[in-house]
Amino acid sequence: MTSWRLATCVHAVLDALEAVEEICATDKSVLFSLCAGGIISSMPLGHLVATGQEHRLAGFALGVTLLDQSHAGLMASVTSPELVAAAAKSRADGILDARSLAAIFAWLRPGDLLWNYWVNNYLLGKQPPAFDVLYWNADSTRMAAELHADFLHLGVDNSLSHPGQATALDSPVDLSQVTVDSYVVAGIADHICPWASCYRSVHMMDGYSRFVLSTSGHIAALVNPPGNPKAGYRVSEDLLPARTCSPPDNQPELVPARCTGRAWTARAPRSTCSAAGNRCCSSWALAARWVCGDR
């Protein structure tokens, strides 16, 4: 395991794809990946496109994944100086310790993931409440040092956003040549993979893409059973939700915003929005212009 690299993972994805085709007696499969797995899966996707095998895919789906690393998120953590130092220190062992990864991700949201527990549990002596998602989040995973090195190169160079800069099994990875339908899911409160950065993946591929913005954060945005009154999602290719700009019944409205060339145009916020709501609406419109206009 300590010698696993990105190429090892690419081979594994292609082997899994072949196994699914054989077991299910199908010639088309959906490649669906979550978080860093989406970064890995984009590599065999590029390989399939470059070798004329894209027809083997019925669709490509990403959950809370960043492919364009030009803004903060997962790769900003994986490539941070602290984690680079931790990787160098653990290189002799061949692994990046799970605690280093967990600590870096926690410091992305210190108010909720660090100081909250330090105050309530340590200072006040309270027992932490039972929380299944938090228990799952505590189950950290080690990373092979060689795989981490490959992730570093992808993140620092932002290779996936530059056609042909990354290679998979000697094939250039050009996501702009992807024509298969894609399904992209992001979490509005995700501190690891910000939703606006996830949205940029929609514009990196040439096929029809459906973007889903879920409530909650990195895990709960996906692991969220039906019937939860606090959960919800918005689905559209040309709409952005404005959470705090709500009609009297507190049901979220949608503020239309369409990408026209290199800039976004958006409808002005509703006159019923509060002062805080107006700032929120403006920030969403700015985010929309940034997502599309910065390409």
pLDDT tens-place string over residues 203-252: 899 988 889 988 888 888 888 777 778 788 888 654 444 333 333 333 33
- Report yes or no on 109 lying in a domain: yes
- Report yes or no on 11 lying in a domain: yes
Distance from chain centroid for Cα 100: 20
The catalytic residue positions are 35
pLDDT tens-place string over residues 243-292: 333 333 333 333 333 333 333 333 333 333 333 333 333 333 333 333 43
Provide the 8-state DSSP code for 179: -
C-alpha distances in Å from residue 223, one per residue of 61, 115, 219: 16, 25, 6
Reduce the DSSP state of residue 233 to 3 states and report it: strand
- Report yes or no on 286 lying in a domain: no
89-93, 95-99, 222-226 — which is least confidently predicted?
Answer: 89-93
C-alpha distances in Å from residue 97, one per residue of 7, 88, 106, 177: 21, 11, 15, 36
pLDDT tens-place string over residues 98-107: 777 777 777 7
- Report yes or no on 263 lying in a domain: no
**CATH number of domain containing 22:** 3.40.50
Integer distance in angstroms from the first to the last C-alpha of the chain? 37
- Report yes or no on 155 lying in a domain: yes
Contact between 54 and 48 under an 8 Å Cβ cutoff? The reply is yes
- Report yes or no on 1 lying in a domain: no
Structural domain including 136 reads 6-237
Q: Which residue has the tokens 């797995």?
A: 37
Contact between 265 and 239 under an 8 Å Cβ cutoff? The reply is no
Contact between 44 and 170 under an 8 Å Cβ cutoff? The reply is no
- Report yes or no on 45 lying in a domain: yes
Torsion of CA 166, 172, 177, 182, to 10 degrees: -50
Task: Report the phi/psi class of residue 174: left, alpha or beta, with left for phi > 0 and alpha for psi in -120 to 50.
Answer: beta
Contact between 128 and 121 under an 8 Å Cβ cutoff? The reply is yes
Q: Which of 150, 154, 160 is nearest to 46 (CA)?
A: 160
Contact between 202 and 233 under an 8 Å Cβ cutoff? The reply is no
**Gyration radius of the chain's alpha carbons:** 20
Q: How many domains in the chain? A: 1
- Report yes or no on 187 lying in a domain: yes
Give the separation between CA 238 and CA 265, rounded to whole angstroms.
Answer: 11
- Which two structure tokens, joined as six digits, stand for 151? 């992730």
Q: pTM score, two decimals?
A: 0.72
